[in-house]
Amino acid sequence: MSQLSDTPGRVGSLEAEQLLEVPLPGGFATWLDEHWRAELQALLERCGVDVALLLGTVPAPEAAARILIELPPGRTYEDKFVVGVFDAEGRMAGVLVVVRDHPGPAEWTVEIVLVAPDQRCRGLAGAMLARLETWVRSEGGKAIHLETRRFNPGGAGFALRAGFEPAPGQPEGAPSVRYLRRTA
């Protein structure tokens, strides 16, 4: 395994580096940690309406810090990966947050896939998910989960276009819809 950075949660196989190969022309991608909190917060604020659809509330001043530090039960920072994509001017254009072995072994969950309004319709979110699938498969992952709020038809449409299907066994009238993309 190659060390991608000294930050916990940013270690992975060489295939993980493919997530860093989705920058915009002239831009770059990197693993995010506390040092990138201000840039992540700025992206969240630029995407305020989308964040409200994603998280159910407008981005609070501590939203970036929470994204970087909160973990699902039973997971560690070695299981959580936060990737930022930056444009040629060095401004964060998108972010992907994913957790390994959640909700179960060999299953990964996309917590956030977000692209700045001025960078949309260029295939960036789809490229991040395609690279993620390659990495998940190389790590023996069997499925990728994604969840959208029921009142977010744009999120549902994106999930379906990205190859996800509604997950079976969802309670009727739940506030969120779970989607699943099998990798094996």
Closest CA to 132 of 105, 154, 113: 113
Can you spell out the DSSP letters for 78-135? TTEEEEEEE-TTS-EEEEEEEETT-SSTTEEEEEEEEE-GGG-SSSHHHHHHHHHHHH
φ, ψ of residue 80 to 5 degrees: the values are -110, 130
Q: What are the residues whose beta carbons fall under 8 Å from the beta carbon of 173, sequence distance 6 or more? A: none
Among positive and negative, which fits the CA dihedral 70, 118, 27, 155? positive
For the record, the structure tokens of 133 come out as: 């699938």
Confidence of residue 53 (pLDDT cuts 50, 70, 90): confident
- Residue 94 or residue 21, greater confidence: 94
**125: domain range?**
2-182
pLDDT at 121: 81
Residues pairing with 131 in the sheet: none
- Residue 165 confidence (pLDDT) above 90: yes
In the chain, how many domains are there?
Answer: 1
For the record, the structure tokens of 172 come out as: 């009727």
CATH number for the domain including 83?
A: 3.40.630.30
